[in-house]
Amino acid sequence: MTNRTVYFNGEYVAEADARISIFDSALMFGDMAFEMTRTFGQQPFRLRSHLERLYASLRLLEIECGLTIDEMEELTLETLRRNIGTEAEDVDWQIMHDVSRGPLSLYSTVFPDGGRPTVSINCWPLIKHMGRFAENYTAGVDVAIVAQPAIPATMLDPKAKTRSRAHYQLARLQGERIGPGVWPLLVDSDGYLAEGPGWNLFLVSNGTIYSPEPRNILLGVSRGTVAELAAKIGVPFESTNLGRYEALQADEMFCTATTFSVVHARSFEGQPVGDGQLGPIVSKLQQAWKEFVGVDFIAQAQEYARRLPAWEKREIAAHDIT
């Protein structure tokens, strides 16, 4: 069996034993805050920034998790330490935090020791996630607006990262109906470009990087990193309202998320972005990102793709034993 360990409600347990109650508020309402970061060279990427956003989301949801942010950070590093040795030294990791208010009080008789918040931290090897993603760095991705709109801040502030994400799932399904592998882009209530399910969008026009105005989007940690790196390589960065018109006129388009960092879009709404190839600004940004984290994440993903079949066989065999 695999030896991965999960921090779960005050204990370190085997991955297969970390199970949430069917009466948990996360299952009943999607009432859970979460965060996801990754390592580069087995070092967490901007862990404190991700945890600060986690605690901001918890405050919005009015969840008291019972841990200070410093304690959460220490537990995260310990969870990572316990898992790193289960893979080769060149394997990087996804780190996931999930926090809910715990089982609903209606079902308190099922929990004689009293209900408490559900807190879990897990680490997952990035071989599968990034191995499957690797070809996108060369080919680029296809972006299209879907019917599902972004949730406006008047309903649930998108700056909080929560598991109330049915609209993201619907957007993904709509994207697949447009075409295999299409990346779905949501627009806000005013019709401006917002975000994708778990990723931020950027346009490049006349040498300037433009990001959707942050009113109705998740303020991604990677989005902030783009702004910092843009300044470092001397490229102007602006946040503004963007629509279909601006997207269709863009010289370059790209998407960011913590797992894959930066990937270019080759098409928007079925039309090529520029010449459909990786453009000069995105190329410079990828290089600056590699230097910043000390890892060539593109070459790493390509190596993971090569090793993925053997890794999956090992995982299947380990779980068959259990």
pLDDT tens for 14-23 read 999 999 999 9
Angle of the 47-61 helix axis to the 221-232 helix axis, nearest 10: 140
pLDDT at 318: 84
Torsions phi, psi for 33 (to 5 deg): -95, 150
> Tell me, what CATH number does 223's domain have?
3.20.10.10
Burial class, 313, CB count within 10 angstroms (exposed 0-12 / middle 13-18 / buried 19+): exposed
Cβ pair 220, 200 in contact under 8 A: yes
Rounded Cα–Cα distance for residues 303 and 134 (Å):
9
- Do 194 and 107 belong to one domain? no
Instruction: Give how far the C-alpha of residue 11 lies from the chain's centroid of Cα atoms, to the nearest Å.
Output: 25
- Do 285 and 156 belong to one domain? yes
Domain count, the chain: 2
pLDDT one-digit tens code per residue, 131-175? 999 999 999 999 999 999 999 988 889 999 999 999 999 999 999
- Do 285 and 151 belong to one domain? yes
Rounded Cα–Cα distance for residues 201 and 209 (Å):
10
Rounded Cα–Cα distance for residues 166 and 157 (Å):
15
Rounded Cα–Cα distance for residues 254 and 220 (Å):
14
Range of the structural domain that residue 59 is part of: 5-125
Rounded Cα–Cα distance for residues 261 and 242 (Å):
22
- Do 13 and 65 belong to one domain? yes
pLDDT at 113: 73
Rounded Cα–Cα distance for residues 283 and 137 (Å):
10
pTM over 0.85: yes
CA nearest neighbour of 282 among 230, 238, 236, 241: 230
- What the block records as the tokens of 127 is 């071989």
Rounded Cα–Cα distance for residues 69 and 44 (Å):
15
- Do 146 and 109 belong to one domain? no
- Do 55 and 202 belong to one domain? no
Which residues of the chain are modeled with pLDDT < 70? Answer: 1, 321-322
pLDDT at 213: 93
User: Is 317 a domain residue?
Assistant: no
pLDDT at 1: 47
pLDDT at 319: 76
pLDDT at 216: 85
pLDDT at 115: 78
- Do 101 and 151 belong to one domain? no
